[in-house]
Amino acid sequence: MPSFFVAHGAPSLALEHDDFTRAAGEFGRTLADARAIAFVSAHWQNRGGVRVNAVAHPEPIYDFGGFDPALYRMRYEAPGDPELAREIAALLGAELETERGWDHGLWVPMLHILPDAHVPIVEISLPQPADPRELLRIGAKLAPLRDRGIAIAGSGGIVHNLRMLNLGDKNAPPADWAVEFDAFIAELIASRDFDAVADYRRAPSASLAVPTPEHFEPLLVALGAASPDDQLQTIYEGFQYATLSMRSVTFA
């Protein structure tokens, strides 16, 4: 199974159908035979260390406000996998989470990737604060699961600046600085220079592209789980609302 990173965009993406959601659905067909997905989202940070969700049937968390009321009625019915969660927790030296549901960083993109919700998902938190190289190491620890039919996933955004969104136009041209940073990181990923990706703060326009780290950090877990002989494929590249990169990639 692959290691992949998917942009989750705005929560309203759950209600929409566009070029990105079609690409996500096409990619999702490659996961049809997955045993499970180990999933790291930008929207679960745990102060003090990593936690692993062991809830059998997690409820959706509507961790946003001001959107179409229909969004707050949406559900994603994939099961959890408590047994796998315990195994992952032991692998990472992490604690189990037995109450939390799934945040929108997970269920919004998965609605489009696997709409039939047949593959179990185990969500893994980001440690807060997070050392970028430790995130690469977390991915490396998860990598052996891929040989057992378990995909490794990160969800966030390579460029994610909410303060500078063009909320009135989803298809607004992207800001020059956003394009510059997104392309710079894409080149590092293509060259397999993951250490340089971990040093993203040195990249051009990093302070604008990554004003807070949590949306970038799941990318590092996905990169850490990639193997040297994987083929890199771009699931999608482009922007929404001028400052949300929707670049999504897979290593398989």
Question: So what's the pLDDT on residue 197?
Answer: 98
| pLDDT tens-digit readout, 122-140 | 999 999 999 999 999 999 9
What's the maximum distance between 2 C-alpha atoms anywhere in the chain?
46
Tell me the pLDDT of the chain (252 aa) as tens digits: 999 999 999 999 999 999 999 999 999 999 999 999 999 999 999 998 999 999 999 999 999 999 999 999 999 999 999 999 999 999 999 999 999 999 999 999 999 999 999 999 999 999 999 999 999 999 999 999 999 999 999 999 999 999 999 989 999 999 999 999 999 999 999 999 999 999 999 999 999 999 999 999 999 999 999 999 999 999 999 999 999 999 999 999
Q: Domains of the chain by range and CATH? A: 3-251 (3.40.830.10)
DSSP for residue 155? E
| Alpha-helix residue ranges (DSSP H) falling in 146-175 | none
Question: So what's the pLDDT on residue 48?
Answer: 86
Q: How many CB atoms lie within 10 A of CB 185?
A: 23
| pLDDT tens-digit readout, 40-68 | 999 999 998 999 999 999 999 999 999 99
**Taking the model in full, what pTM does it have?**
0.97
Rounded to 5 degrees, φ, ψ at 104 are: -70, -20
Separation of alpha carbons 140 and 247, rounded Å: 22
Q: How many CB atoms lie within 10 A of CB 133?
A: 14
